[in-house]
Amino acid sequence: MSIHCDAKKNDIEKTVLMPGDPLRAKYIAENFLDNPRLVNTVRNILAYTGTYNSKPITVFSSGMGMPSIGIYSYELYKFYDVEKIIRIGSCGTYNKDIHLFDTILVDKSYTEGNFAYEWSGKKEHVSVASKELNDLIDNTAKKLGINCIRGNAFCNDCFDGYLDNLDDFISRLPKDVLACEMEAFALFYIAKYLGKQASCLLTVVDAYFESKSITAEERERSLNEMITLALESVN
């Protein structure tokens, strides 16, 4: 069994929502789920299982970066028989057509890193979300009237906000990239490797071409819309 999770096998449901921040997992459990119960505390990577509209679901935090989500997604798929993981996170954008608080559904994730090479000896730098799960989320967004922009994202190894030469980094981004985040490539890669499903929903909280400062209330409201979309898509 897992060495990074002390949950019992029947504590984890087949569908998992995966925020990065453990406190966001706690927030989702307390504000969206009925009868949530804490099922993992190892390394303070909090996980909760409860129900949403009477359907059981687990919310399991991933931590930051590809190594962290790679570990937790592998163990959930491999040892707990999880079938679907939807990452729900925040992102930045260097695309003029994407704005603060936009919701993005990631189809492909690009990386300059070597996660795939270390995992399987393959020099792969693009991984793909599960089309079936993405189509379901896309259709749910239309039914709910949520503007969900479907496209591609870049998966960083380094937090781009701290780079010495940001312009050089931006110049290397593929032209079709809508957002930058730090986990999706590894999640998609592990899901495909194990024959499972994975998707990634992102809320834009930092836009390079917008100088607007955002309030805590605005940030919470936009994240709540993304959380609701994910939950409704698997209900």
Q: Active-site positions?
A: 206
In this structure, are residues 60 and 18 in contact, taking their beta carbons and an 8 Å threshold? yes
Closest by CA to 128, choosing from 144, 100, 95, 151, is 151
In this structure, are residues 66 and 114 in contact, taking their beta carbons and an 8 Å threshold? no
Q: How far apart are CA 203 and CA 223, in angstroms?
A: 6
Q: How far apart are CA 96 and CA 114, in angstroms?
A: 29
Q: How far apart are CA 33 and CA 174, in angstroms?
A: 38
